[in-house]
């Protein structure tokens, strides 16, 4: 079970972190961002489930506009949109992060992807695996 989720630069969420318990209730006024939080989770879940962010469910090639149409309107064009989550595993605490950002050096979609997973297993230094960043990547593989 997720213990914490964070959404950055997605729709109305510039930097939102939600600590989750056994039961978590979300309530608030209209336009407070409740639905946008779920939309962000759904957006990144679909990318991760497909593991190929360059195509949609029907196999159509995506472009940068498909990824960044939901970017927070006050975020700069080079600000990534990101989703991270934290959970506890039998090995210890696990943190996962995925970021999408525009990069004109990548073709054809001009979309960069960075993924990082950190596993804290009681040692002083966590085990860290990171892919993407400034190197072109068109699949999600962690």
DSSP string, 69-113: TTB-TTS-TTPPEEEEEEEEETTEEEEEEEEEEE-TTS-SS-EEE
pLDDT in tens, 38-60: 998 888 887 777 655 556 666 66
| Structure tokens belonging to residue 116 | 């990082």
- 25-29 mean pLDDT: 91
Residues 6+ apart with CB under 8 A from 97: 82, 83, 84, 114, 115, 116, 117
- 19-43 mean pLDDT: 90
| Structure tokens belonging to residue 47 | 């990318």
The per-residue pLDDT for 51 is 56
Is CATH 3.40.50.10680 what the domain over 2-132 is classified as, yes or no? no
The per-residue pLDDT for 91 is 79
pLDDT bucket at 111, cuts 50 / 70 / 90: confident
pLDDT in tens, 56-92: 666 666 566 666 777 887 787 778 889 999 999 887 8
- 109-137 mean pLDDT: 80
Between residues 100 and 70, the one the model is more confident about: 100
Q: Where are the domains of the chain?
A: 2-132
Pick from 14-28, 50-64, 75-89, 120-134 the range whose average pLDDT is largest.
14-28
């Amino acid at each position: 079970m997720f213990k914490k989720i964070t959404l950055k630069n997605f729709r109305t969420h510039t930097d939102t972190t939600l600590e989750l318990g056994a039961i978590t209730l979300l309530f608030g006024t209209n336009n407070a961002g409740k639905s946008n939080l779920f939309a962000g989770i759904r957006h990144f879940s679909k990318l991760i489930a497909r593991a190929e962010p360059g195509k949609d469910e029907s196999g159509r090639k995506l472009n940068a506009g498909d990824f960044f149409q939901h970017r927070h309107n006050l975020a700069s064009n080079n600000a990534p949109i990101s989703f991270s989550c934290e959970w506890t595993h039998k090995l210890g605490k696990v943190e996962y992060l995925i970021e999408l950002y525009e990069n004109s050096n990548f073709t054809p979609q001009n979309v960069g992807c960075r993924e990082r997973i950190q596993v804290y297993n009681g040692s002083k230094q966590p085990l860290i695996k990171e892919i993407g960043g400034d190197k072109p990547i068109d699949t999600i593989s962690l």
